[in-house]
Amino acid sequence: MKHEMIKLDVDYAASSLPSEGCGAELICYTNTITEEVGRKNRHAILICPGGGYDYCSDREAEPVALRFLGAGIHAFVLKYSCVKKRFPTAALELAAAVKYLRDHADELDINPDKIVVCGFSAGGHLAASLACFWNSELLTKPLGCKPEDIRPNGSMLCYSVITSGQYAHEGSILNLIGEEQSENLRELVSLENQVNESTPPTFLWHCSDDGCVPVENALFYMASLSKNHIPFEAHIYNNGGHGLSLCDFTTANWDGHINDVAATWVPHAIRWILAL
């Protein structure tokens, strides 16, 4: 396995965003290219850990990357700027990460047309933000790129924050919109209202008893995908709460994180990615 860390160059000032305390790192987990193994032109998954836009969870980072790498999918983890970094700071960083993967696809041995963004909880909101805004000047203008440079080929949303309305995870939303609590910005980051005909195919999973990020977040997003005729696959599990990550001992920090039924999301997701 090849493991390296890339510091992403993002011009925050181009979007009138403060750069103090910002900085994104892309951690790469790829198989070593040898004469025996050869090149595979692999699918890629770009993982955004959760943490309420307050931190990046370790439980939803490397262990997840290694699970997908073991399935032959090259995996990348984005450590994005958190702690009251106003939208679209993290979305610009994710867009820059997708552009990096696409620009370096040959050396990373990935197919530039098979890049999936994946996020957990608030990281799911980040992944969905790129899925909705990849062809918007909100992201392309500050990065000085074409929409196709940052377009994800699919998105994978794991118990994701989506809405800023009645069923919002308010901590995540407030970290995004700032203390001024702009209603226009609050509406912009309510992503069930931002799905459009250009949103890529999507895989979602959630637990119906999630008391942190209510399942309505997934249901609203699914309804918008359906309305816009976007292909999607969804798995709603009866119980499990929030923050399950891989749902097994690998990422558990208490017994409630071990859930054999919800753990089926992983093979479902691998199959879904490889079928893109």
Could you give the dihedral angle defined by the CA atoms of residues 205, 63, 23 and 105, in that order, rounded to the nearest 10 degrees?
Answer: -80
Q: Which pLDDT tens digit goes with each residue over 234-275?
A: 999 999 999 999 999 999 999 999 999 999 999 999 999 999
What does the DSSP assignment read for 76-133? Answer: EEEE---SS--TTHHHHHHHHHHHHHHHTHHHHTEEEEEEEEEEETHHHHHHHHHHHH
- Taking 80 as the threshold, does the pLDDT of residue 180 lie above it? no
Q: List the domains of the chain with CATH numbers.
A: 2-275 (3.40.50.1820)
> Distance (Å, rounded) from C-alpha 104 to C-alpha 98?
10
Report pLDDT for 34: 85
> Distance (Å, rounded) from C-alpha 194 to C-alpha 190?
7
Beta strands at 74-79 and 110-120: parallel, antiparallel or unpaired:
unpaired
Q: Which pLDDT tens digit goes with each residue over 74-85?
A: 999 999 999 889
Position 161 confidence tier, pLDDT thresholds 50, 70, 90: very high
> Percent of the chain beyond pLDDT 90?
91
pTM of the model: 0.98
**CA Rg, the chain, in Å?**
17
Q: Which pLDDT tens digit goes with each residue over 2-48?
A: 999 999 999 998 888 999 999 999 999 999 988 888 889 999 999 99
